Amino acid sequence: MTSTTTALPTGLTTGTWAVDASHTEAAFTVRHAGISKVRGTVAVTSGTVVVGEDLDSTSVTVTLDPATISTGDAGRDGHLKTADFFDVEKFGEWSFASTAVRPTGSDYVIVGDLTIHGVTREVELATEFNGSAVDPFGNTRAGFEATTTISRKDFGLTWNAALEAGGVLVSDKVVITIDASVIKQA
């Protein structure tokens, strides 16, 4: 990697920041039947942001639990957990590990390896730093929002059903958005 001269965002100090799972959400949106969207969430169970002196020495790791998938419909959630989709019995953990962080205007791109359903692919997360604050308990927190679009097929997720009018029930394109709160560690 080449050295990055871009300064870290104001309020984001060097050191280790732990993902606050109770204030972090991974959400997804996928087109259904070509006419509407289904939205859901997956719990982020742990993660760490290590902020170095520059972007080249900054990294992000996150773990998610696919058994927590929630779309607001118990039947659909149950189907998503089966071998037709995520096979959570066999692939009980998803992960992301950054390989690079680079500036893009006033925001950032976090490049890394996303593993879903036992398949790892490189993704780019368009990331916005939302600032930092000290909470009422004395914790220094920072917030981020990151978005990427993936192909289900790239992760071996190929189940679908043909529609009578043409097309398929579940689109290949999935938009993933992560709203993260991290806490500075001592």
Give per-residue pLDDT as tens, 109-150: 999 999 998 999 999 999 999 999 999 999 999 999 999 999
User: What is the structure's pLDDT at 169?
Assistant: 57
Report which of 103, 96, 39, 93 is spatially closest to residue 68, judged by C-alpha positions: 93
User: What is the structure's pLDDT at 165?
Assistant: 65
Distance CA(5)–CA(99), nearest Å, equals 18
pTM for the model: 0.87
Q: What is the mean pLDDT of each run of 10 residues along the chain (186 residues)?
A: 58 92 94 77 96 90 96 92 91 96 91 95 96 93 96 77 59 89 95
Show the tokens assigned to 3.
């050295």
User: Does residue 83 contact residue 64 with C-beta atoms inside 8 Å?
Assistant: no
3-state secondary structure at position 154:
helix
3-state secondary structure at position 141:
strand
Distance CA(13)–CA(121), nearest Å, equals 30
User: What is the structure's pLDDT at 53?
Assistant: 87
- The structure tokens 């500036």 sit at 103
Distance, C-alpha 93 to centroid of its chain: 13
3-state secondary structure at position 164:
coil
Distance CA(118)–CA(116), nearest Å, equals 5
For domain 15-184, the question of CATH label 3.40.50.300 is answered with no
Show the tokens assigned to 164.
């009578």
Report which of 138, 180, 184, 139 is spatially closest to residue 18, judged by C-alpha positions: 184
User: What is the structure's pLDDT at 1?
Assistant: 42
User: Does residue 70 contact residue 77 with C-beta atoms inside 8 Å?
Assistant: yes
User: Does residue 94 contact residue 62 with C-beta atoms inside 8 Å?
Assistant: no
Distance CA(126)–CA(111), nearest Å, equals 9
User: Does residue 169 contact residue 33 with C-beta atoms inside 8 Å?
Assistant: yes
User: What is the structure's pLDDT at 2?
Assistant: 45
